[in-house]
A and B are shown apart, each in its own frame.
Chain A
Amino acid sequence: MAAVEYIQSMQDVFIGFTSITWKMLVMYGIGGLLIWLAIKKQYEPMLLLPIGFGSILVNLPLAIAWEHEGVPGFLHILYDAGIANELFPLLIFIAVGAMIDFGPLFRNPLMIFFGAAAQFGIFATMIIATLLGFDLKTAASIGIIGAADGPTAIYVANKFARDYLAPISVAAYSYMSLVPIIQPPVIRLLTTKQERGIHMALHEKPAPHWLRILFPIVVTMTAGIVAPISVPLVGSLMFGNLIRESGVLERLSQFAQNELAYLVTLLLGITIGGSMSAEKFLNWQTLLILAMGLVAFVFDTAGGVLFAKFVNLFLPHERKINPMIGACGISAFPMSARVIQKMANDEERGNIILMQAIGANVSGQLGSIIAGGLVLALVPLLVK
């Protein structure tokens, strides 16, 4: 009897060792990979590092950080407080809104259409996902990876496909960080050297202050009328932008851009990582979702570039658009604009198209939340 009790107590002591499964080991590897990408490659380190560490935390034996003996752990508490009710993505949007300067877009209003064209990847990927066997709601959530906008992806996935929230979030943030690797080959494939060398005139005239103030208000109201369900997304983004542009809330604007952004990003990252339990994450669907996330980014880029080439058919020679600008219509801001400027400079030293690229890039932010809102509005019309 004493021997049995002894063995039992020893099992309790070493329960950490005896509970480890091969799936947990794989998740430690994935967590380690994300941390390595964050530190060594500096790919979205503010997100990939917390996500990687969170994924290790939640897969430690007994998953104490998530739940223990029916009591929620701190990751579970954070999940309920910020992800399940969509609070963290919306707070991030306030911060992002405070960072966005729509000035370059106001100076080059035609760039706004690339913010629509480069959402093509969302819809193409959604169709492909249904062909691969996903239901419409899950397919829509996978397609939204193509919004190139982490908070929108989290927001939509949380409403439509909560079981796939972790892989969708990881895919969204990972591919956003890989924009410098994903976009250039797609652009080169679809454009000629001559097209990539097109110069564009810079319009220096600043936008009137009243337009900068009116714009976020009108955008919010328009979104509220077109797709009421998108109001939390659009409203929080535009609220942040209004704080920035008002000119009387400089401290609040700086707080939103810095402390709020850093704090919520930190909590969002580790909580997303905390939702990556081995049981939910290690399956074929995760691999498919990761693959389709890449497809979405490729189609986004192609959609923007091809649309620019289409527009060029109707423009006089001196007003032609460098089609690389179209690729900036994805909302990976400002990384995509930087990539395109670097490509333009590599093609022809001194070719500056950065302001036009930023104009298209901020319009991508608008396009992605509008697309997200429309998906949220349209899908429930067809499936309950």
Chain B
Amino acid sequence: MENLIETLKNASPAVQAIGVSAGGLIGVFATIAFFFVLIVAADRFGKR
């Protein structure tokens, strides 16, 4: 991960933007997925 960050630090702004976009989209989906699991688990728990 540190190597990737170091590489991106020396890259052009467009490549840096692609890196931030990839990280950002993965981060948003992962966080949202966690909330999804939370809601579904709460629903299942609530049925008991």
A residues within 8 Å of B by Cβ? 105-106, 109-110, 112-113, 115-116, 119-120, 122-124, 126-127, 129-131, 134-136, 139-140, 207-208, 211, 214-215, 218-219, 222-223, 226-227, 363, 366-367, 370-371, 374-375, 378-379, 381-383
Contact = CB atoms under 8 A, between A and B. Distances in A.
B39 A226 contact: no
B27 A124 contact: no
9 contacts: A109-B39, A112-B36, A112-B39, A116-B29, A122-B24, A123-B25, A124-B21, A375-B20, A382-B5
A122 B28 CA distance: 12
Contact of A370 (B9, B20, B31): B31
Contacts of A113: 29, 32-33, 36
A127 B21 contact: yes
Interface in B1-43: 5, 8-9, 12-14, 16-21, 23-25, 27-36, 38-40, 42-43
Contacts of B19: 378, 382
Q: In the A-B complex, list the 4 residue pairs whose CB atoms are closest, starting with the nearest.
A: A123-B21, A130-B13, A116-B32, A109-B39
Nearest to B14: A130
A119 B25 contact: yes
A127 B46 contact: no
B28 A131 contact: no
A214 B23 CA distance: 28
B24 A375 contact: yes
Given A123-B25, A211-B42, A366 B17 contact: no
A304 B30 CA distance: 16
Contact of B38 (A119, A126, A218, A382): A218
B32 A139 contact: no
Contacts of B25: 116, 119-120, 123
Contacts of B13: 130, 134-136, 139
Contact of A222 (B5, B8, B35, B46): B35
Contacts of A130: 12-14, 16-17
**Which size bracket describes the interface of B in this complex?**
20 to 34
A378 B23 contact: yes
Contacts of A120: 25
Given A130-B14, A134-B13, A370-B32, A211 B23 contact: no
Given A136-B16, A367-B32, 10 more contacts: A109-B39, A109-B43, A113-B32, A126-B21, A130-B17, A134-B13, A136-B13, A139-B13, A367-B28, A375-B24
Contacts of A370: 27-28, 31-32
B37 to A, nearest CB: 9
Given A119-B28, A378-B24, A211 B39 contact: yes
Contacts of A367: 28, 32
A366 B36 CA distance: 12
A222 B34 contact: yes
A219 B35 contact: yes
Contact of B28 (A109, A110, A135, A374): A374
Given A136-B20, A211-B42, A375-B20, A131 B14 contact: yes
Contacts of B30: 226
Given A109-B43, A139-B13, A378-B20, A226 B36 contact: no
